[in-house]
Structures are given as structure tokens and as C-alpha cells.
Amino acid sequence: MGKRILLFLATNLAIMVVLSLVLSLLGVGSYVGPDGQLQLVPLMVFCLIWGMGGAFLSLQMSRWIAKRALGIHLIDGRSGHAELDRVYETVANLTRQAGLPMPEVGVYDSPEVNAFATGPSKKRSLVAVSTGLLQAMPPQEVEAVLAHEVGHIANGDMVTMTLLQGVINAFVLFFARVAAFAVRMAVPARVAWIAGFATRIVLEISLGILGSLVTAWFSRQREFRADAASAALSSREGMIGALRRLMTTEERIDTAKPALAAMKISGKKAWLSAFSTHPPLAERIAALEAGR
């Protein structure tokens, strides 16, 4: 746990330092002019850099973060371990079939039955499976799960998700700061700072929650698309079988690393379904059975 907390803090500190340097070089560290008026163009640049920049830096670091957060062991197909070498060869065959560059392939030690894909581009991606999945599923279902993850890479889901999150971040920051400035100008000077600060925090939280509804919706749609890609690259029956098996192992999903949850093939249901990053497994099975 201590290692994961340290990794989280170090990553966010690095992102803050980089973005602060960029803002300093561009001279947009402040968006309030000498006359005390709000300057919208510097504010838009500020919000765009913090919103998009943070999302894209996280994407660039996603493979590195995943490897260290989960202790992923990379494999190359020459380990002499039949099951691990089969995983590597399966990913190689699927990516050739999809016309993609070969991603990194890894295994992480966990009882959860799960797998995920991440990476900043199709040329710099990672596909990883848990030992729990390899133990729980027969080869046909493992192949279908790997095809699902290759489908995420082929669809460019990681980049699209990052673009969406970055745009939402930028809008949240912009509107919260505009509203906070308006409040500071409207209240007595003795309470202006605290009123503006409180307004900004409340709006960033509330608008951020609304924005998460959009990203969660998109995340659910990309799971359907990746399931369809698996049916095309591997087999519809294998993907349906894998999803049915996942229905029996949902209690083993690891929720200790929420930043990686959206990337996995199966996730815990949120307290409200609108915030869930994955559709119910029954709905995914129904979509495959209907040929969607």
C-alpha cells in the first residue's frame, strides 16, 4: 500500500511540475490583469494546459504506472513456460490479424480474473492479464479476452478516452474560475477571497461529477465495441463464455487501484449505474448474442 501511495504522489508531483513549467514559459500563470479584470484568453490557455496536459501526461506514463502499480512481469514468448508463451503468441497472432504493431505483453500476480490494455499509442501499448484469469479460463476464453484488449488498442480507446477527459477537465476548470471571479466581484471585499475560493471548489467538484457521467458513458460504450472486436478477431462463443465466467468471479475484482479500473475487462458496479465504467455483464452477453 505504501508503495502505491508513493507512486501516486510522485506521479502527480511530476505532472504538476511539468505543467507549471509550461505555463511559466508561456507566461500564462496568471489570468487576472493589472487592472483586476479577468483575462479570458490567458484563462482558456491555463485551463487547456492543466486539463488536457494532465490527461495526456498521465496517458504517456500509463504503461510505466501500470507496470509498477501491479508488479507486471513482461513476457516475450521465450520463457519456456508453456502457458505464458501461449499468451504471448496469442497476442502476436491477434495483433497481426488486426494489422497492429506488437504490444508489450505482461502478467501480474492477482487472484482477480481480469485483463487490461493501456498505452499512449498503438505502437506503445501494453496488454496484461492476471494469473487469476489464466487459472480460471480455458484457452479459448483467454484468447477471447486477449482479443477484447487488442480491440481496445485497434479502436484507439485509450487516446479517445484521454481526449474526452482532457476536454471535460478544461471546461470544468474554466467555468469554475469564471464563476468564482464573478462571485469575488459581487461580494464585499472582506469576504471576496473566501467566497470565490468556496465557489471554485464547489463548482469543480459538482461539474467534475457531471463530467464523470460522460466519461463513464463513453467507457461503457467502448466495452461493447471491444467485445464486438473480440468476436471478430477470435470467436463470439469464446467471448460469451469468458463474460459468463466473469459473472461468477466479480467478487474477486481488485478495487485497490481505481485509476486502472476503467481499463480492465471487468469492473465493479458503481453505487449508481450511470457512474459505472463497465456495462453489466448480462447486457454485454445479450449484445454479443444479438450480433451487435
Active site residue 237: no
Query: Cα torsion at 64, 128, 125, 92 (round to 10°)?
Result: 140
Query: Cα torsion at 23, 27, 32, 33 (round to 10°)?
Result: 180
Instruction: Enumerate the β-bridge partners of residue 32.
Output: 38
Instruction: Enumerate the β-bridge partners of residue 115.
Output: 129
Q: Is 31 in a helix, a strand, or coil?
A: coil
Residue 103: DSSP 8-state: P
215-221 contact pairs (CB < 8 A, 24+): 215/161, 215/164, 215/165, 215/168, 216/270, 216/274, 216/275, 216/276, 216/277, 217/274, 218/160, 218/161, 218/164, 219/161, 219/262, 219/277, 219/278, 220/276, 220/277, 220/278, 220/279
Q: What is the CA radius of gyration of the chain?
A: 22
Helix (H) or strand (E) holding 124: strand 124-130
Quickly tell me which residue has 464563476 as its cell: 179
Instruction: Enumerate the β-bridge partners of residue 75.
Output: 105
Residue 112 to residue 267: CA distance in whole angstroms: 10
Task: Please pick, among 104, 141, 143, 149, the residue that the annotation labels catalytic.
Answer: 149
The sign one gets for the Cα dihedral 155, 159, 162, 168 is negative
Annotated catalytic residues are 149
